Amino acid sequence: MIFKNLKNKINFSTAFKFVAVLFLALFMTSCSKKVEIKGQLKNANPLDRIEFIESSGVATLPLVNLGVDKKGNFEGSFQAPKNGMYIITYGGKQGTIYLKGGEKVDMTGDATQFPAEYAVTGAAKNNNDFLKNCQVFLETYATKINMGQLISKPEPDFLKQAKKIQDDLFKNIEENAKKYSADKDVVQWKKDELTTSLLGLLNQYEVNHGQSVQDPSFKVSKNFTEYQTELNKNVDRLVENHPQYRNYLLGTLGEDFQKYSTDKNKDQKQTTSQVFSEFLKTKKDLSQTAKDYLLAYVIAQTDLNMSATKEENEKVDKLIESDIKNAEVKKDLKKIQFVLGGLKDGDTVPENSLVKADGSKFSISGLKGKPTLVMFYASWNRNVSTTVLPMLEEEIKFYKSKMNFVYVNFDDSKEQFVKTSTAMFKGLPGTNAYAEGGMNSEVAKNFGIYGFKLPGFLVLDKDGKIAGHYYVNLGDPEITATLNKVTGLNQVKAAPQMPQQMMPQTENAPKQEEAK
């Protein structure tokens, strides 16, 4: 009996552990933020990249950068910051997709028709079919509205029409939600998007109605402002999820801010974002969440760029630390600041576990004794062979007696790296190395490398420290001055014109982040 009871206890214990492990596995799966993507784009160009970008961030950067093979196949994964709308970019064009953490998503389409037509299957199908059909209805509905006539209507008639538009479109949203079994969150997102559009319509009426009916004294009534207030009742949710709503709020603040900045910044010593931050402190009716997102937008648009000076970056650092309270917003801003600002003069080289064609390990950090010019590139950079390599060869000829040269490749596979490096750098002195994982590698992350920063260059001094900053133009007089400084040589040349690098947009939908 004792052994029987013991056996039962052991079996019960084993079963309990099994159930516990199973529950934990299911819980971890349900909470996973990983999104797995695969698909095919017919007629795709292997030189064009597919990127996924979370659309509601204040300083958006690609979460993954995927190549397509000769048949248009692509595959990859990324950690989704949140359930919501994402931008897909391909070949300079962009579409949208609603994604949730833990989903496996299949996509098919024709590259020549992207983003007008592509199909989503797998776990994301229902939500995206819901959004697609809501959009089709909206576009048809919009063709029946004459904006000029609507803005000219007397206010009671305008409000009646605006509320009818809201009722009609909300009804369609509910019908499609039921038809496609859409998730509650995506339905709310679509309603909030419509709410934002309605607020924009009301703002147009308030600003333009007086002029349209030649009544400069026109002011909206209490009924009008009450309807605005009703639409604005979920400010924090709207401002967090919809960049268009942030634009709407900024529009409503524009005139007041213009007056404030004229009075408070006459000596022009403060940056636009510093003045805007002080201005927001006078707006007691705005929540801290709204202030964080609006200030982040202004910082991203005015202060974050690749040519910012050390003093300008220090001002931004201080402002982000002192005035942005939301941890995620602060994190986003600091990330884009690092990516755009890059590594600075005197910085230590980040971790960089690279591999050479023969499989041996290589690290830039070990290069000391002589200065080094490091080039970062990928085979899909269209202007590398035609424009950059001829300029690089001239630099090598002039500085080779005093410098090392390293060429770091970010292609999708080691096989592609071997082909690319052999074709491009044959006969040139220097070390060819590969960042395993390409654009999605830890090396890319640690150096802040994105498509729009390729090809790019870093100069290291003889002690292996960063000299100058990250350069995207070998013809930049600054990189020539840096190379002269670390080598002791004196090259003098005129700066040739380089193709303009495409910068990432930091709000709404970024364009393809790739040097064309």
Return the pLDDT at 342.
83
CATH number of 354-487, picked from 3.60.110.10, 3.40.30.10, 3.40.50.1970, 3.40.50.620:
3.40.30.10
Percentage of the chain exceeding pLDDT 90:
77
HSE value, Cβ hemisphere, 13 Å, CA-based, for 346? 1
pLDDT tens digits for 456-494? 999 999 999 999 999 999 999 999 999 999 999 998 865
Q: Is 13 a residue whose pLDDT tops 60?
A: no
State phi, psi for 262 to the nearest 5 degrees: -65, -40
Averaged confidence pLDDT in the chain: 88
Return the pLDDT at 11.
43
Question: Rg of the chain's alpha carbons, rounded to an integer?
Answer: 28
Among 15-29, 32-46, 178-192, the range scoring the smallest mean pLDDT is 15-29
- Looking at CATH, the fold of the domain delimited by 34-123 is given as Immunoglobulin-like (2.60.40)
pLDDT tens digits for 398-413? 999 999 999 999 999 9
pLDDT band at 262 (very low <50, low <70, confident <90, very high): confident
Q: Is 394 a residue whose pLDDT tops 80?
A: yes
Mean pLDDT value across residues 125-137: 96
Q: Is 503 a residue whose pLDDT tops 80?
A: no
pTM for this model (two decimals)? 0.86
Mean pLDDT value across residues 18-40: 59
pLDDT band at 68 (very low <50, low <70, confident <90, very high): very high
Strand partners of residue 90: 50, 93
Domain boundaries, the chain: 1-29, 34-123, 124-233, 246-341, 354-487
Q: Which own/partner contact pairs does 431-434 have at CB distance under 8 Å and 24+ positions apart?
A: 431/356, 431/362, 431/404, 431/405, 431/406, 431/407, 432/356, 432/357, 432/407, 433/354, 433/355, 433/356, 433/362, 433/364, 433/406, 433/407, 433/408, 433/409, 434/354, 434/355, 434/356, 434/357, 434/408, 434/409
pLDDT tens digits for 210-244? 999 999 999 999 999 999 999 999 999 999 999 99
pLDDT tens digits for 293-324? 999 999 999 998 887 777 888 889 999 999 99
pLDDT band at 271 (very low <50, low <70, confident <90, very high): confident
Return the pLDDT at 494.
56
